[in-house]
Amino acid sequence: MKTVGFNNPLYILPFDHRGSFQKKMFGWTGTLTPNQTAQIAATKEVIYDAFVAALENGAPKDKAGILVDEQFGAAILFDAAAQGYTTCCPAEKSGQDEFDFEYGEQFAEHIETFHPTFCKVLVRYKPEGDRALNERQRARLWRLSEYLHNRSQSMFMFELLVPAEDAQLARLNSDKKKYDLELRPGLMVEAIRQLQDGGVEPDVWKIEGL
């Protein structure tokens, strides 16, 4: 098993948006045509070009990286790896409340196709929420954690979101700012504890600002 952790500064340009990107940027829903997919991929190439330009103008290559998806950014991931850039690629299905793998049981094959520096997951986890749902999420995340630490060269990046429960907001008169200040910090700590107790050990925790 590899040593877990990453202690260097890391500045990531994220453009791994998928469902939200096609809907909010282009107004498209449902299954995309090949032409629509190509248009989104071309748009992401513009973002990548800006990243490369930033490096050429002095941004620190050893601290900078990109987060982009396979669906629209496969060519970008291959090029970035060839250039020695830090790459991150998501493993989660886009826009779901419950974490699951974008490519199901083939998740490992897709990770190893690109060998990203980091395999990233975005997870919505409510420590006081549905226990069965949380157990399912922890089980899938444990599989990924074990795979990455024991069978892959990619490190594990975990983006944690802790949305408010209706009952929690009700106690605060639906004041979301109050939730962020008074409840969310403790809930995030509890979420991390539950995940680690379930054997989920990321190299990098990406958490919401506190």
CATH number assigned to the domain covering 11-207? 3.20.20.70
Q: Which residue has the tokens 């282009």?
A: 26
Q: What value does the mean pLDDT take over residues 165-178?
A: 95
pLDDT value at position 19?
86
Which pLDDT score is estimated for 115? Answer: 97
In this predicted model, what pLDDT tens digit does every residue of 180-204 receive, in sequence order? 999 999 999 999 999 999 999 999 9
Please, which residues have CB within 8 angstroms of residue 77's CB and are 6 or more apart in sequence?
A: 68, 70, 87, 89, 114, 116
Residue 1 pLDDT exceeds 80 = no
Question: What pLDDT, on a 0 to 100 scale, did the predictor assign at position 25?
Answer: 87
Is the pLDDT score of 20 beyond 90? no
- Which pLDDT tens digit goes with each residue over 75-129? 999 999 999 999 999 999 998 999 999 999 999 999 999 999 999 999 999 999 9
Long-range contacts of 55-62 (CB under 8 A, 24+ apart): 55/85, 59/11, 60/11, 61/85, 62/8
pLDDT confidence band for 209 (50 / 70 / 90): confident
pLDDT of the residue at 69: 97
Rounded to an integer, what distance in angstroms lies between the CA atom of residue 124 and that of residue 126?
A: 7
Q: Which strands form 86-90's sheet, in the order they lie side by side?
A: 11-15, 64-68, 86-90, 118-124, 155-161, 204-207
**What six digits make up the tokens of 40?**
């989104």
